[in-house]
Structure 1
Amino acid sequence: MSDPTPAQTDTLDQAMTAIARGQAGEAERLLARLVRERPDDPAVHRALALAAMRAGDVPRAVAHLREAIARAPGSGLLQCELGRVLAQSGRFEESLACFERATRLRPDLAEAWYFLGITQARLGRKAPALEALRRADAASPGQVPIMAPLADLEADAGRIEAAQALWLRLVQLQPREEDVHLKLGESYVHLGQPAKAREVFRAGLALLPGSAGLWMSLGQLLEDAGDRDGAAEAYQAALARRPGWVFPLAALLSLHRSGADEALVARAGQLLAEAGLDDADRALLGFAYGKVIDGRGEHERAMASWHVANAARRRVAGAFDREAFLADVEATLAAFPGPLPADVPRGAPDPRPVLVVGMPRSGTTLVEQILAAHPLVAGSGERAGLSKFAESLPPGPCLDAARVASASADYLAELVRHASRPEAQRLVDKAPMNFLHLGRAAQLVPGARVVWCRREARDIALSIYGEDFAPGSRFATDLGDIALVIQAQARLMRHWQARLGLPVLEVCYEELVAGLEPMARRLLDFVGLPWDPACLAFHASQREVSTPSRWQVRKPLYTGSVGRWRAHAAALAPVLSLLSPDDPSPALLLG
């Protein structure tokens, strides 16, 4: 094919200018003559495809790009453009093939790697999407459209440090983008550096004082740090900037409870009465509103609010699958019938881990706080490493020695990273639901000790039902489901005590609040540390606490929560028979 004449080049340039201006008709008029003169020119067919896209004619655009590719089969750019057109029309699998061909033809073409990654991510294929976006970033560093989704995928893959490095670059490139400051701050929280996260949010607010999201996030971290006044100020600032936002309103109600401002309480009541309130907001606000009026002695109205909140949460998150849960429990019991066989690979016998388990709201945060007040103990909060390892495998011990060693090292590193004292001799993981995974714990951290927190089952049930747990805790939205999990927990823990070999100390919440020092001494004896009176002043600790019990553990012990269920006995009546101290048949619980 001969080179275009100057006049033909000029015509093509005019057509491209018309396309850029949105003048598809004019572009097609200019190109009609040109395609007759140069029918084998891929640049002309590409221009016709761009004009067709401007006109909204996807089939014609695809046809012209295929014509261009037929005449220039080695063009990675044309393959990439065809992929984009196909993706825009929802033909994602076809577009992937084009992007893949483009990257083979032009490994240096960042655009092809970018669209390959974005399309893979859209199809839920996160691992190949991550790899493609890494290639895009390497081919063209510093491009915001590439870095932003890449950072999200790195974080989703658990590579928080890699994501953080990208968000640090993005903050420099987009200093007035709220989302970047939020994600950077969250990355520091995930890495156990809440003080640094607060700095990030404050720096963001210096640039974006009108950001309700940054005020809200700062408030949550100030609350975790025990700064009630600072948290309240931040929540009020968030609400002032977004007056209809339920999140800060609910936070203020939960922060002040029975002492909440009457105008805020009234506003919450009005919103809950609106039929159009989003279910996610109805749940969030309903839990908080119930706490306020329950604290004022209006127990029936509080329970009614919690009923509404839990029903809304179930509509958002779905119902708890009782049969699947009990099947998992049975599989766990069968997979770990006794101590691990000698030939099963194990992690290093590190004496530092202390696993505080039991039902949520059974006193796990209080036990962690008491232990963490000792100068040789650090609280690491609720860590996910053990549950992630357990849930990634079928029931039974893992026989892959390398995988066990890696997971053990990762879990210990996670405990250290989040520890209030990284050099501590004992590291407390207080993820309550780890009672499901103690068979795995015996393999990953065979030197661990287990503290089992127990509490009056009816008080646990009430406390869970009235608390705003994460949507994934589906059992928490139904009293019958809560009863089932309480009993399954007791059954598992009795099994672990009798069969597993890990040392287990039972701590009764009612005994603990009735006599702190004897129980604190038992705890320290159990974890192998000398007595220290600092444990009696656990409430004076300045460590971060991010669980719903954050304010309770900042006060001296009190017995006001013991027997709290009695004020709600009528509402609890349908499940009272299921809330016996120990283990009835699972079949009974499904009735």
Structure 2
Amino acid sequence: MTAPHASLPVHEAANALELGRQQAARGDFQGARRSFEFATRCAPASFDAWFLLGITYMRDERRLEALPALRQAHRLQPDQLDAMRALADAEFHAGLPGDALPLWQSVVAARPADVDARLKLGETLNRLGLLDREIANYQDALGSLPESADIWMALAQAREDGGDRTGAAEAYGQAMRFRPGWITPLGGLLSLQRKDPPAELVEQALALQARADLADRDRALLGYALGKIQDSRSLHAAAMASWHDANAARRRTSGEYDRSQAQTSIQRLMHVFDAAFFAREAAAIGHLDERPVFVVGMPRSGTTLTEQIVAMHSQAHGCGELPDIPLLVKSMGNRWPDNAAELGREYLEQESARYLAAASRHAPANALRLVDKSPLNYFNLGLIALMFPRARVVWCRRDPRDIALSIYSENFSLDARFATDLDAIAHSIALQTRLMRHWQSTLPLPIHELQYEALVESPEPQAKALIAFLGLPWESACLEFHRSNRPVQTPSRWQVREPIHARSAGRWRPYAGELPDFDPESFPGPGADRSD
């Protein structure tokens, strides 16, 4: 952003603002930004100039670049609610939920019946791990908005995170009551009650699934949920048909997986982060803190279970899936990883400190290990090694056929394009294995392989080896994680509220004919059962 010069004629600011508005209206965001930046130079005390510049960056999905302009607009008019909520949104998406929180609280205080503000406040509290306050926010909102289906829906999801199955079902039902025909709570209720769903709800969902005019977003939600119900009833052909239907709808919505792009990304990481790189960059280190533990692997490979085991230790803290490292990589854009060698000590120390503040936000003072279980951080281990050269990595591995089936049957985010095609999932698993083998040979970080099948078959010796790898004394409570009331915000939220069991191992077998071939290296452990 160009520095403002007060000497420019102030009347030119009005012309620049009007031109910028016209450019933004026709979608010329680059031109609009230039006009609004010129206006800030003409009139550096103009709230409109700074606000419109920030909003234009936001509309162009460039939230990090929007922050300085929106912060300046907020400084100029601290009580202006539109600027306050725009800044709160930008702070949140820049990975600064702690800065977004007081802003959303101020917006809600001024507009307590603003549904969007209530939802954004709840999302921010959720990101900060303040589940009780998130639920209280929704319950308070229902005092003045008792028929808001959106608030009831958010409350249902928060109650699920907290393990309140009965309360979640009630809230889903209220969301359906106040917005008849809304598919999202129906899908949530079916997923929640998949072992014993009400027959009328299943019939309703099947009738909707059969409609040719059902919107793809709704088709996907119902397909994932119905498939799980059919799977629980051993109706395997029907389950796979539902998942095929759901994933085809999701592909139409979010696009196809780009195999070439995925392969190129892995090759770039391996090219940049070779053994010589870490020898050269040994002096450019971030933080010597030994607490960070990064649990990585394919989604559905046992990362949540692993975190729960460690989190029960009296000297460890489970952070959940922290977004901070992925957001940091995203902020670097196309420069990453080619600019990795340009990251200086000061930058690494700054970002390391910021990450540690997020990771330790709810940790007890005596926590010696902070466990971040964002599975896809396996992409980011090169950066992690620079930020935390004394960190530890746990690589969760599982039979790729069980991973593939579990991913394919799950409602992942729209940007997880690999998750909607079985061949794409197999390709992703192979790339992940290749990259992790590269990290094992080049990273100056210890990496512990943890095999899901071995863990569920022999929990105690595997858990003891895991805790020993983390440098902690063994505590039997680590196998009592199902007694914990910690919030869990992943698809495994209900499985980890049960004692360890092996029922999910080999779940792929009834679907063997539908699954693609897998690279032999994708199978964990020399003793893995690879028979059909």
The TM-score with structure 1 as length reference comes to 0.80
Match of 2:6 in 1: none
Which residue among 17, 22, 43 is the counterpart of 1:86?
22
- Higher relative contact order (CA closer than 8 Å, sequence separation 6+): 2
Long gaps (5+) in structure 2 = 1-8, 525-532
- Read off the aligned partner of 2:293 and give its amino acid letter: V
Letter in 2 for 1:576: D
8 Å Cα contact 1:487/1:582 also seen in 2: no
Aligned to 1:373: 312
Residues 496 and 78 from structure 1, CA distance in 2 versus in 1: closer, same or farther, beyond 3 angstroms? closer
The equivalent of 2:476 in structure 1 is: 533
* Percent pairwise identity: 46
- Match of 1:90, as an amino acid? R
Q: State the AA in 2 paired with 1:550.
A: R
Question: Which segment drifts farther, 92-101 or 150-159?
Answer: 92-101
**Native 8 Å contact 1:490 1:582 kept in 2:** no
**d(CA) in 2 for partners of 1:156, 1:428:** 22
CA distance in 2, matches of 1:406, 1:231: 40
Within-5 A mapping of 1:147-546: 147-338=84-275, 340-341=278-279, 343-344=281-282, 345-391=284-330, 392=332, 393-395=336-338, 396-417=340-361, 419=363, 421=364, 423-546=366-489
The answer to whether the Cα contact below 8 Å between 1:82 and 1:95 also exists between their aligned partners in 2 is no
| CA deviation string 1:411-441 (max 9, x = no partner) | 222211264x464111111111222222222
By how many angstroms is 1:566 displaced?
0.8
Taking the aligned partners of 2:307 and 2:240, their CA distance within structure 1 comes to 29
Asked if the contact 1:92–1:119 (Cα under 8 Å) also holds between the matched residues in 2, the reply is no
Q: Distance in 1 between matches of 2:460 and 2:33?
A: 65
Distance 1:364 1:204, change over 3 A: same
Give the SS at the match of 2:501.
coil
The one-letter code matched in structure 1 to 2:302 is G
Q: Distance in 1 between matches of 2:117 and 2:287?
A: 39
Greater alpha carbon shift after TM alignment, 245-254 vs 107-116: 107-116
Change beyond 3 A, Cα 1:373–1:78 = closer
Q: Report the CA distance between 1:463 and its aligned residue.
A: 0.8
Q: 1:563 to 1:213 in 2, by over 3 A?
A: same
The answer for unaligned runs of 5 or more in structure 1 is 1-72, 584-591
Tell me the distance in 1 between the aligned counterparts of 2:507 and 2:45: 66
After superposition, residues 42-191 of structure 1 pair within 5 angstroms as 75=11, 79=15, 82-83=18-19, 86=22, 90=26, 103=40, 106-124=43-61, 126=63, 129-191=66-128
Instruction: Classify 1:91/1:525 alpha carbon distance in 2 versus 1 (closer, same or farther; 3 Å).
Output: closer
Counterparts of 2:141 and 2:91, CA distance in 1: 22
RMSD over equivalenced CA pairs, Å: 2.6
Shift of 1:253: 0.9
- CA–CA distance in 1 between the matches of 2:117 and 2:46? 26
Residues 13 and 40, structure 2, Cα contact 8 Å, conserved in 1: no
Compare CA radii of gyration and give the structure with the larger one.
1
Q: Distance in 1 between matches of 2:101 and 2:186?
A: 30
User: 2: distance between equivalents of 1:99 and 1:528?
Assistant: 55
| Residues 301-322 of structure 1: CA deviation (Å, up to 9, x unaligned) | 1101111111111111111111
Contact 1:408 1:444 in 2 (8 A): yes
Whether the 8 Å contact between 1:79 and 1:99 is mirrored in structure 2 is no
CA shift in 2, pair 1:381/1:512, >3 Å: same
Aligned length: 508
Following TM superposition, by how much is the alpha carbon of 1:378 offset from its aligned partner in structure 2, in angstroms? 0.9
Deviation at 1:112, TM superposition (A): 4.5
Q: Which residue is 2:529 aligned to?
A: none
Separation in 1 of the partners of 2:192 and 2:37?
A: 52
What is the CA deviation profile of residues 335-362 of structure 1, one whole-angstrom value per residue up to 9, with x for unaligned ones? 2222721543112222211211111111
Q: 1:175 to 1:446 in 2, by over 3 A?
A: same
